[in-house]
């Protein structure tokens, strides 16, 4: 399976719409201005992807309950993830987090639960279908031992830079398996064809 440049642009725009909306919900949640850059999309092997990370990851697994029969993964460098939850905990409950522990993981899960709720609404509007997402699963992993994929598995990777005012910025990498990515592209290409024929 291969993806053209146009296909990757479509997937990037899907990510932009869904994650962009999620960034808005994050902004409302922490009452801080949140920005997100235009995404960059690529079709890349898991082995190649692993070379770009430090050893520590925080993984958010997002399972679709309805609309798509698949899972997406969102990755953050562990160091950046820790800084992120430190800001959230301080702003929301006045709590201090020093290490990645169970409380830090719970904070991250709650934030992504809010964000994925907005993502499902955005995707439902985009695909004109009811799309629901189960509560996300957040866990710590090492890039060298994380076994969600084999090294030769090909994935669509969508890279976002997220900023919280001038204080902090981080990357989120969204991974989509090719079968789901192809399904998304085909649906939107079909709808674009309908618009042209009309």
Residue 103 reports pLDDT greater than 90: yes
Express each pLDDT in 138-157 by its tens digit: 999 998 889 999 999 999 99
What would the 3-class secondary structure string for the chain be? CCCCHHHHHHHHHHHHHHHHHHHHHHHHHHCCCEEECCCEEEEEEHHHHHCCCCCEEEEEEEEEEECCCCEEEEEEEHHHHHHHHHHHHHHHHCCCCCCCCHHHHHHHHHHHHHHHHHHHHHHHHHHCCCCEECCCEEEEEECCCCCCCCCCCEEEEEEEEEEECCCEEEEEEEEECHHHHHHHHHHHHHHHHHHHHC
Q: What is the mean pLDDT of the chain?
A: 88
Which two structure tokens, joined as six digits, stand for 77? 């460098």
Residue 106 reports pLDDT greater than 90: yes
Q: Looking at residues 65-87, what average pLDDT do you find?
A: 92
In percent, the amount of the chain with pLDDT more than 90 equals 55
Domain that holds residue 102: 5-197
Confidence of residue 197 (pLDDT cuts 50, 70, 90): very low
The whole-number pLDDT of residue 191 equals: 65
Confidence of residue 33 (pLDDT cuts 50, 70, 90): confident
Express each pLDDT in 167-191 by its tens digit: 889 999 999 999 999 999 999 988 6
Number of domains in the chain: 1
CATH number, domain with residue 67: 3.40.1550.10
Express each pLDDT in 47-65 by its tens digit: 999 998 877 999 999 999 9
């Amino acid at each position: 399976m291969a993806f053209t440049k146009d296909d990757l642009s479509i997937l990037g725009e899907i990510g932009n719409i869904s994650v962009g909306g999620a960034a808005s919900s994050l902004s409302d949640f922490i009452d801080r201005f949140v920005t997100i850059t235009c995404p960059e999309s690529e079709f890349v092997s898991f082995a190649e992807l692993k070379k770009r990370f430090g050893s520590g990851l925080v993984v958010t697994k997002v399972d679709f309950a309805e609309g798509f029969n698949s899972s997406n993964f969102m990755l953050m460098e562990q160091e950046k993830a820790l800084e992120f939850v430190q800001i959230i905990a301080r702003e929301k409950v006045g709590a201090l987090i020093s290490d990645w522990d169970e409380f830090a993981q719970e904070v991250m899960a709650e934030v992504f639960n809010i964000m994925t709720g907005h993502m499902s609404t955005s995707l439902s509007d985009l695909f004109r279908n009811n799309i629901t997402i189960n509560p996300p699963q957040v866990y710590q992993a090492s890039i060298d031992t994380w076994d969600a994929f084999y090294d030769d598995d090909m994935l669509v990777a969508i890279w976002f830079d997220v900023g919280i005012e001038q204080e902090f910025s981080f990357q989120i990498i969204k991974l989509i398996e090719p079968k789901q990515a192809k399904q998304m592209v085909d649906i939107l290409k079909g709808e674009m064809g309908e618009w042209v024929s009309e």
